[in-house]
């Protein structure tokens, strides 16, 4: 049994990791989350009373508090997911992304290094710092058959992806310079239950149910590789516990879809699963509205996930078809969660697009 510290464990991917660790392993979990707009403890209600779960409301930029958490809980593995992650928000206000994603990662690395150097030899040998990143650090792909590999050069396009690229470089530098045992993963677009409603898939589902426009950037021909969040959570735990130090692993869903395909698929599923439409709506697809494209919008992302399959025996369990149906059904079944996110402090927030 190990103690795993998860930063950003109240976020979308982080909460999936925490639920997986508590439900499917014997590990103890320390959830460190600042609880910004995207952090939601309601996503962890099902496991919050488990004796192996502990929550710390701490900002990763707070060196003293992070040092205290390390000293108090004595983690064996750090899984670093805490990040500002929405591209539109990074365009509107890049400062928070620089602070959290770069300065926050630096601070976490330094506190982890101090903690690690003081560990007993056996615990020091088993310690891991797992940094979770994105395929957006690679920029976009020109050819229709090209894939991002672990050695693809970095070419970020947005303030968000540039800040994540910066944090990746810091993690590698702390490994090379100080010997801190690190591992990095870069993932494709996640989707699934508990996704904050500013992102494409939940935004489309909830807008459609309310009879609101379904905004699609440009012509909707941007291509993304879609990864079901629970598959990603499994992959992250495999890498954190079995990955080789100083290695990078790309995690993808093997599901390339144009954004317009994704939106039309959701509309088709809603026709089946939610046939009682809002007043004035004939077909959900009629709500699709094309809007001006995002500045610097990457056209295509696609992951080569062969390394993690070969070396760590991980492959996704969900196809896009099975995963998206589960996702739509989850949002239909969890309207209270959705309303709690959308009302109160969330009123007036700019809902962005992916």
Other CB atoms closer than 10 Å to residue 121's CB: what's the count? 7
160 included as an active-site residue:
yes
298 is an active site residue:
no
- The answer for residues whose C-beta is within 8 angstroms of residue 220's C-beta and 6 or more apart is 258, 259, 260, 261, 263, 290
Catalytic residue among 106, 160, 249, 331: 160
pLDDT surpasses 80 at 288: yes
Catalytic position from the list 135, 140, 230, 256: 135
Task: Give the other-Cβ count within 10 Å of 74's Cβ.
Answer: 14
Q: Which pLDDT belongs to residue 267? A: 98
Specify burial of residue 18 (Cβ count, 10 A radius: 0-12, 13-18, 19+).
Answer: buried
What gap in Å lies between CA 177 and CA 26, rounded to an integer?
33
Among 136, 140, 225, 298, the active-site one is: 136
For residue 106, indicate whether it is catalytic.
no
Parallel/antiparallel/unpaired status of strands 256-258 and 223-228: antiparallel
> 67: part of which helix (H) or strand (E)?
helix 63-73
pLDDT tens track for 127-183: 999 999 999 999 999 877 899 999 999 999 999 999 999 999 999 999 999 999 999
Going along 83-170, which residue ranges are E strands? 128-134
Digit-coded pLDDT (tens) for 14-58: 999 999 999 999 999 999 999 998 899 999 999 999 999 999 999
At residue 354, does pLDDT exceed 60?
Answer: no
Cα 99 from Cα 105, distance rounded (Å): 9
Task: Quickly count: other Cβ atoms within 10 Å of residue 177's Cβ.
Answer: 9
Looking at residue 101, the DSSP 8-state letter turns out to be I
Domain ranges of the chain: 3-192+226-256+298-319
Note the pTM of the prediction, 2 decimals. Answer: 0.95
- Residue showing tokens 């700019």: 350
N residues, the chain: 354
The fold for domain 3-192+226-256+298-319 equals Rossmann fold (3.40.50)
pLDDT over 90, % of the chain: 90
Provide the pLDDT for residue 345. Answer: 39
**Long-range contacts of 168-173, Cβ-Cβ distance < 8 Å, separation of 24 or more:** 168/131, 168/133, 168/137, 170/102, 170/105, 170/106, 170/109, 171/105, 171/109, 171/129, 171/131, 172/246
To which residue do tokens 């602070």 refer? 99
Q: Count other Cβ atoms within 10 Å, centred on residue 210.
A: 11
- What angle is formed at CA 181 by the lines to CA 176 and CA 185, rounded to 5 degrees? 90
SS3 state at 303: strand
Compute the distance between CA of residue 351 and CA of residue 354 in angstroms, rounded to an integer: 10
User: Quick check: 54 and 73 in contact, CB under 8 A?
Assistant: yes
CA 143/CA 74 separation, integer angstroms: 47
d(CA 30, CA 23): 14
Rounded-to-10 torsion of CA 174, 178, 182, 186: 20
Band of the pLDDT at 353, cuts 50, 70, 90?
A: very low
């Amino acid at each position: 049994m190990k103690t795993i510290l998860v930063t950003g464990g109240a976020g979308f991917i982080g909460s999936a990791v925490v639920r997986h660790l508590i439900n499917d392993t014997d590990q103890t979990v320390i959830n460190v989350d600042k609880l910004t707009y995207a952090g939601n403890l309601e996503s962890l209600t099902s496991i919050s009373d488990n004796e192996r779960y502990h929550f710390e409301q701490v900002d990763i930029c707070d060196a003293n508090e992070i040092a205290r958490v390390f000293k108090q809980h004595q983690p064996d593995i750090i899984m670093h997911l805490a990040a500002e992650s929405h591209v539109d928000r990074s365009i509107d206000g890049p400062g928070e992304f620089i602070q959290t994603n770069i300065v926050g990662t630096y601070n976490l690395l330094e506190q982890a290094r101090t903690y690690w150097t003081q560990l007993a030899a056996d615990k020091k040998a088993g310690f891991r710092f797992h940094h979770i990143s994105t395929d957006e650090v690679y920029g976009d792909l020109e050819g229709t058959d090209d894939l991002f590999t672990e050695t693809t050069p970095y070419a970020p396009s947005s303030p968000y992806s540039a800040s994540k690229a910066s944090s990746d470089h810091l993690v590698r530098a702390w490994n090379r310079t100080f010997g801190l045992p690190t591992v990095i993963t870069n993932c494709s677009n996640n989707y699934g239950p508990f996704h904050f409603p500013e992102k494409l898939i939940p935004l489309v589902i909830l807008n459609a149910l309310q009879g609101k426009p379904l905004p699609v950037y440009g012509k909707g021909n941007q291509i993304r590789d879609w990864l079901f969040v629970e598959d990603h959570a499994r992959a992250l735990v495999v890498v954190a516990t079995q990955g080789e130090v100083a290695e990078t692993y790309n995690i993808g869903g093997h599901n390339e879809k144009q954004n317009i395909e994704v939106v039309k698929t959701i509309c088709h599923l809603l026709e089946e699963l939610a046939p009682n439409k809002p007043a004035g709506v004939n077909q959900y697809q009629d709500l699709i509205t094309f809007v001006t494209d995002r500045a610097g919008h990457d056209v295509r992302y696609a992951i080569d996930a062969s390394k993690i399959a070969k070396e760590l025996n991980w492959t996704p369990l969900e196809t896009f078809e099975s995963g998206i149906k589960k996702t739509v059904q989850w949002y239909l079944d969890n309207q209270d969660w959705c309303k709690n996110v959308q009302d109160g402090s969330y009123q007036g927030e700019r809902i962005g697009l992916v």
